[in-house]
Structure 1
Amino acid sequence: MCQGESLTALEKLTHATESSPHPIMPLTDLAPDIPAMFRRAAINAALGSARAFFSSLKTWRARKQKHEAKHTKKRKKRPFRERPPVPPRSWNKSVPFYASLWHERHTHGIVLKVWTGSCWSWLKVHILGRELPDGYAMGSPQLVRKGDRWWLHTPIEKTFETPAKSGEQLTTAQTRLCAVDLNLDKHLAVCSVQTVDGTILATSFIGNGTAVSGCRKQLLGRIARNRSQTGLIAENEQDNADLWAKIRHVDEQIAHLVSARIVQFASEHKTSILVFEHLGNLQPEKGTYSRRSNSKRAYWMKGRMFRYATYKAWHAGGIITCRVNPRNTSRECHRCHAAVIRYNQGHPVEGYTSGAALCLCPQCQMRDHADRNASIRVGQRLIERTQEPLKEKPHARSQRAKRESKDSGVGISQDAKRQMGPSIPAARRGDHANGHGTAQGRRRRMGASFPDIASQLRVHFE
């Protein structure tokens, strides 16, 4: 059913007319004098909410059906744990002013047509706000109630062409992508811009995760001490409400700030793809209550960063977001893909110390910051998806044509057959371009900071 047919059908159910004097759900029971345009605006808002809910429900059912269709013999099938969408329990919509209800909009004023209770009158209203950005168009203003005051909100929209899918964009060697490695402490996010041909252009270290984690752990410790002193928690009542609210607000603010910095960095370098790791099975650390809760909420904050960066990147200019498998992204060298040694400065260069700042590849002698190396590997893993069809085995007929005859009596080893090197030289691409922004060909003391690293995010806690 189209929008016009749905509006007509709902008007018959809610508005009394000569053909339908007794509607099933008359809106006049709620308010006796409702203007027709407000009634139709409410019906259109209800239709939009209902269609959004059924669209989300359809998407959830499709994901559940896709999950249930997967069945592997090697491992046990995992249950589908994603919750289905539910209709909103409370429904509150703002009153829109359509094109015939406002005119003469300026930077500091607008003329609105309002209902005084007995008639319609034009009223000039003084407004405050920023000027409209370039490339955006204004929509119909809305009247929003906040407490005992009314606010006039004006939506803006920007039209841009839908970008191509990631697989199509990665076929071009000059396509730029921004790979992000999210962490729990020290740097909350490390971003690296690289092209499909392997040239690394820029790197940015964002956020001071140690301060954020320390503030959250301190607040959780206060909650644990308060609970131990009281010995009980009131039923149906939130304990330590102020402390819990501060933890939520700090995490929300940091997630918005870091995601905005990620998108800003990607936009400055004209990237078209944003790449994250698919972190869905993280488990909190064992230990005290504050330690476990701190790890759990740090994982939640990483999920918020991904969600916020996804829609901010799309609205920033059509930057699409992808996720890749995080397996061994921190343990592999971004040049030769060999296992790296991870260590802290001043400690022995051996083994793999989780969370250490530096890394060294014993095979190609690559020295770099461990988080920067991981972010580059995240981007390379997305690029490797497009190369998988090139790695397919040749057809059986071509294999038989090149196979040695059995009557020769001489077996050819696999090592002898591989003396010419790998079949795809681009598979060991790494930073072979050695262009602007690459780390090859120059020595740098590991304690020195990179010139393209942005300043850390300053967080003020009261």
Structure 2
Amino acid sequence: MAKATTTIRQVLTYQANYGDWFASNQALFNQVASFYFDVIQAHINVLDHPNKEALTILETLTHTTQRNPNPVMPLSDIAKDIPAYFRRAAIHAALGSAHSFHSHLEKWRQRKEKVIAKGKKFHQRPPVPPRSWNKSVVLYQGMWKERTENSMMIKVWNGTCWSWIKVRITGRELPADVELGSPQLIRKGTQWWLHTPIEKQFQSPGKIEKQVTTNAQTKICAVDLNINENLAVCTIQTVEGTILATTFMKGGQEISGFRKKQLGRIARNRSLTGIIAENEQDNGDLWKKIRHVDEQAAHLISARIVQFAKRHEATILVFEHLENLRPAKGKYSRRSNTKRAYWMKGRIFNYAKYKAYNMGIFTSRVSPRNTSRECACCHSLIARYDAGQPAEGYTPGAPLAYCAECGMKGNADRNASLVIGQRLIERYHPKEKPQALRRVSKDTGVVVSQDAKCEEGPSILPSGHGDSNEHGTAQDAMFRMDEHASNIPTQLRFLF
């Protein structure tokens, strides 16, 4: 069995004065957490124990009871009559911060020793304890009750005493077949939200290597991410090579056009003054629009990818391992637009990864080298061209592909997605390499030429098959496809 954890976010509806009560409750929580962090610093050996034992030790050091009337560092100096579950939630928050701080401090000391051992000066500053605390309140079982689909009771500190208050809950409902964790009170601006972690158990399909090597009918969903009109092209294929389905997820031109329009406005606004204030965000509303549209598109595309894989019962999701992408030089709006399109591709992968895991689908990545230049049928170099143009050469971002070796014709992005899926299969089913010439010892007196004979010529890409700024299938050319598969879903609509 495997388990997946996600968070259900719900909005709280409450009386006007309850907002101040929530703020006072969070302030007290951070005050108690800061107090216990200081206790841990004074008794550093507490960190050597498991969290459950450390909790008991810290309560013995701070909590007044009949058996322990005089604790070393009484919590009553901070506040009196703090509920046990509120106190323990704050202790766990302090323990997490203490473990993180000392872990970073130990790594800093190790780096310092290595640099000094080499006879060099070490200029990096050491990490410091938290100067301020802004942790959200975790509601353990005793701090809430009577939770329904629409309301719940919460125990909060209103500044003078502890009170039970009833709040209404709106938003996504909690699933029935999951295990609930301790909810948190999260402040977003002036509104308070309730975040509830849920844990779902499912039957694990097994490691990717086991699925690929033991079952020839294992279905793989290979995804080719782009920055042109087709934001994602997905292909379902089995380990034995059968191609079952393909889908094209459009919307790239619409998003790129909206983003370019906002970037043009930002550039014009900057040109009016020529001054950008230091440590201050200019054109905040326009940048916010761009971020929100990119975020929305990334969630929509990643959700559609996972739904497509689940509908066809795929158990593996495979992407290209795209990193360090750099936009081509050019005008500010074009360069910035391309850069944010690359960032959105990273978001799509990250979002699809956790969404797929919640569905029992594992995610992997393969090398992006020449995925858009290789034929999925015979692995020869392909010609990539626009409709109405001769099928020769290589035009980055062009929609059509043609292989002169085997005669394959089709969509270039679909061909790339097939190559991506094949690379995952080849990782666990490597092809037999031709037998190489054995090296002969020099003392035998036999001379062996080091020039390998090859009828196909050197493994250098022909002229016109690549530019220095190309990487994998990421192309910065914008186009509208003239030919596409018949099972393409309707285009995404983004509300700007």
Global fold match (TM > 0.5):
yes
Letter in 1 for 2:334: R
Matches of 1:174 and 1:200 in 2, distance apart? 11
- Residue in 2 aligned with 1:170? 212
Shift of 1:177: 1.1
- Residue in 2 aligned with 1:382? 424
Residues 116, 459 of structure 1: alpha-carbon distance in 2 compared, 3 angstrom cutoff: closer
Letter in 2 for 1:292: R
- 2:232 and 2:301 in contact (8 A); partners too: yes
Letter in 1 for 2:387: Q
Decide which moves more: 281-290 or 451-460.
451-460
- Residue in 2 aligned with 1:38? 86
Query: Which one of the candidate residues 314, 339, 345 is aligned to 2:357?
Result: 314
- 1:192 and 1:375 in contact (8 A); partners too: yes
Matches of 2:129 and 2:432 in 1, distance apart? 46
Letter in 1 for 2:137: V
What's the CA shift string for 1:387-439, capped at 9, x where partnerless? 2275485998xxxxxxxxx9xxxxxx9999xxxxxxxxxxxxxxxxxxxxxxx
Query: Which one of the candidate residues 216, 219, 238 is aligned to 2:259?
Result: 216
Query: Which one of the candidate residues 137, 160, 163 is aligned to 2:202?
Result: 160
- Residue in 2 aligned with 1:263? 306
What's the CA shift string for 1:324-351, capped at 9, x where partnerless? 1111111111111111111111112211
User: Per the alignment, in what secondary structure is the counterpart of residue 259 of structure 2?
Assistant: helix
Matches of 1:87 and 1:376 in 2, distance apart? 51
Letter in 2 for 1:251: D
Provide the alpha-carbon RMSD of the alignment.
3.8
Residues 143, 243 of structure 1: alpha-carbon distance in 2 compared, 3 angstrom cutoff: closer
Q: How does 1:193-342 map to 2 (within 5 A)?
A: 193-317=236-360, 319-342=361-384
Matches of 1:192 and 1:89 in 2, distance apart? 51
Decide which moves more: 243-252 or 155-164.
155-164
Matches of 1:262 and 1:170 in 2, distance apart? 21
User: Per the alignment, in what secondary structure is the counterpart of residue 307 of structure 1?
Assistant: helix
Q: How does 1:74-85 map to 2 (within 5 A)?
A: none
Matches of 2:132 and 2:322 in 1, distance apart? 32
User: Per the alignment, in what secondary structure is the counterpart of residue 248 of structure 1?
Assistant: helix
- Residue in 2 aligned with 1:362? 404
Alignment of 1:11 onto 2:11 = no
Shift of 1:52: 7.0
- Residue in 1 aligned with 2:393? 351
Shift of 1:451: 2.6
Residues 450, 250 of structure 1: alpha-carbon distance in 2 compared, 3 angstrom cutoff: same
Shift of 1:136: 2.4
Matches of 1:324 and 1:7 in 2, distance apart? 44
Matches of 1:159 and 1:228 in 2, distance apart? 55
Shift of 1:127: 3.7
Matches of 1:89 and 1:353 in 2, distance apart? 55
- Residue in 1 aligned with 2:181? 139
- Residue in 2 aligned with 1:47? 95
Q: Which runs of 5+ in 2 are unaligned?
A: 1-48, 112-126, 439-445, 447-451, 456-480
Residues 390, 37 of structure 1: alpha-carbon distance in 2 compared, 3 angstrom cutoff: same
Letter in 2 for 1:309: A
- 1:219 and 1:243 in contact (8 A); partners too: yes
- 1:207 and 1:458 in contact (8 A); partners too: no
User: Per the alignment, in what secondary structure is the counterpart of residue 154 of structure 1?
Assistant: strand
Matches of 1:58 and 1:38 in 2, distance apart? 31
Decide which moves more: 222-231 or 333-342.
222-231
Decide which moves more: 334-343 or 44-53.
44-53
Shift of 1:201: 1.1
Decide which moves more: 150-159 or 49-58.
49-58
Shift of 1:15: 4.2
Percent identity over paired residues: 61
Decide which moves more: 295-304 or 44-53.
44-53
- Residue in 1 aligned with 2:227? 184
- 2:61 and 2:71 in contact (8 A); partners too: no
Matches of 2:263 and 2:371 in 1, distance apart? 31
User: Per the alignment, in what secondary structure is the counterpart of residue 454 of structure 1?
Assistant: coil
Matches of 1:164 and 1:55 in 2, distance apart? 33
- 1:205 and 1:455 in contact (8 A); partners too: no
Q: Tell me the TM-score normalised to structure 2 length.
A: 0.69
User: Per the alignment, in what secondary structure is the counterpart of residue 430 of structure 2?
Assistant: helix
Shift of 1:94: 3.6
Letter in 1 for 2:377: R
What's the CA shift string for 1:137-179, capped at 9, x where partnerless? 3334444444555444433221124442221111121111111
Shift of 1:126: 4.5
- 2:329 and 2:335 in contact (8 A); partners too: yes
Matches of 1:271 and 1:52 in 2, distance apart? 38
Q: Tell me the TM-score normalised to structure 1 length.
A: 0.74
Letter in 2 for 1:95: V
Residues 377, 55 of structure 1: alpha-carbon distance in 2 compared, 3 angstrom cutoff: farther
- 1:16 and 1:22 in contact (8 A); partners too: no
RCO greater where, 1 or 2, for CA within 8 Å and sep 6 or more?
A: 2
- Residue in 2 aligned with 1:81? none
- 1:109 and 1:124 in contact (8 A); partners too: yes
Alignment of 1:450 onto 2:490 = no
Residues 126, 297 of structure 1: alpha-carbon distance in 2 compared, 3 angstrom cutoff: closer
Matches of 1:241 and 1:415 in 2, distance apart? 60
Matches of 1:38 and 1:271 in 2, distance apart? 44
What's the CA shift string for 1:54-89, capped at 9, x where partnerless? 899999xxxx9xxxxxxxxxxxxxxxxxxxx99988
Residues 459, 116 of structure 1: alpha-carbon distance in 2 compared, 3 angstrom cutoff: closer
User: Per the alignment, in what secondary structure is the counterpart of residue 158 of structure 1?
Assistant: strand
Residues 228, 190 of structure 1: alpha-carbon distance in 2 compared, 3 angstrom cutoff: same
Shift of 1:457: 1.5
Decide which moves more: 86-95 or 262-271.
86-95
Matches of 1:100 and 1:140 in 2, distance apart? 10
Alignment of 1:21 onto 2:71 = yes
- 2:251 and 2:491 in contact (8 A); partners too: yes
Decide which moves more: 212-221 or 327-336.
212-221
